[in-house]
Chains A and B, each alone.
Chain A
Amino acid sequence: KQEVTQIPAALSVPEGENLVLNCSFTDSAIYNLQWFRQDPGKGLTSLLLIQSSQREQTSGRLNASLDKSSGRSTLYIAASQPGDSATYLCAVSPQTGANNLFFGTGTRLTVIP
């Protein structure tokens, strides 16, 4: 069974700092990987999706990389802002193409003004 781990579980940084969130998965047979953010008590907002054939995706201050063979992905956030404070979740979909995502436990990010 696919297991997804995110480290660290919580992170607190001063505003303006660049930071990296990590995601690892045990089964490299994935179709794609998605990064989400979740604000307290709310739904998930999709940030970036990386297909298994891609190495990275960028959107604004966010950059996600994928190393499928080693089962790792990173989310890089540049010049962090207080509005970035949220829980960040990564999720992988199986290579079969089925739509059941396997989620990590998340990293709770706090950006201090």
Chain B
Amino acid sequence: KAGVTQTPRYLIKTRGQQVTLSCSPISGHRSVSWYQQTPGQGLQFLFEYFSETQRNKGNFPGRFSGRQFSNSRSEMNVSTLELGDSALYLCASSQQGFSYEQYFGPGTRLTVT
């Protein structure tokens, strides 16, 4: 079974721009969660989608948004980029909806200049 895939792997953007990251979960997994990893804050939960609905949201500003498609693929969007948004963005998928083992993708490294 293929693992979680994320595209693109690396991205460089300028302050004020917006960016869209994509995540394809493991086949059969319906839950997709997004996390931000920075050296200062560590790994922080952004949001979770299950069956195309956002079910859970972390403590991030509204500039961070996401969606999930009927095939469970998910995208996250960050608008009006700030330097502090530079991070590794990881998505994870799991079976069903509740606290099953989570499998992570390789991440998208976003650099904001």
Total residue contacts A-B, CB cutoff 8 A:
67
Residues on B with beta carbons closer than 8 Å to the beta carbon of A31: 98-99
CB B95 to nearest CB in A, in angstroms, measures 11
Residues on B with beta carbons closer than 8 Å to the beta carbon of A43: 4, 6, 90, 104-107
Contact indicator B101/A34 (Cβ below 8 Å): yes
User: Mask for A16-34, Cβ within 8 A of B = 1, else 0?
Assistant: 0000000000000001101
Residues on A with beta carbons closer than 8 Å to the beta carbon of B44: 103
Contact indicator A34/B107 (Cβ below 8 Å): no
Q: What are 28 A-B contacts defined by CB distance under 8 Å?
A: A31-B98, A41-B88, A43-B4, A43-B90, A43-B106, A43-B107, A44-B90, A46-B101, A46-B102, A49-B101, A93-B99, A97-B98, A97-B99, A99-B31, A99-B50, A99-B55, A99-B102, A100-B56, A100-B58, A101-B35, A101-B45, A101-B92, A101-B102, A103-B35, A103-B42, A103-B44, A104-B42, A105-B42
Interface residues of A (CB under 8 A from B): 31-32, 34, 36, 41-46, 49, 89, 91, 93, 97-106
Interface residues of B (CB under 8 A from A): 4, 6, 31, 33, 35, 42-45, 48, 50, 55-56, 58, 88, 90, 92, 94, 97-99, 101-107, 109
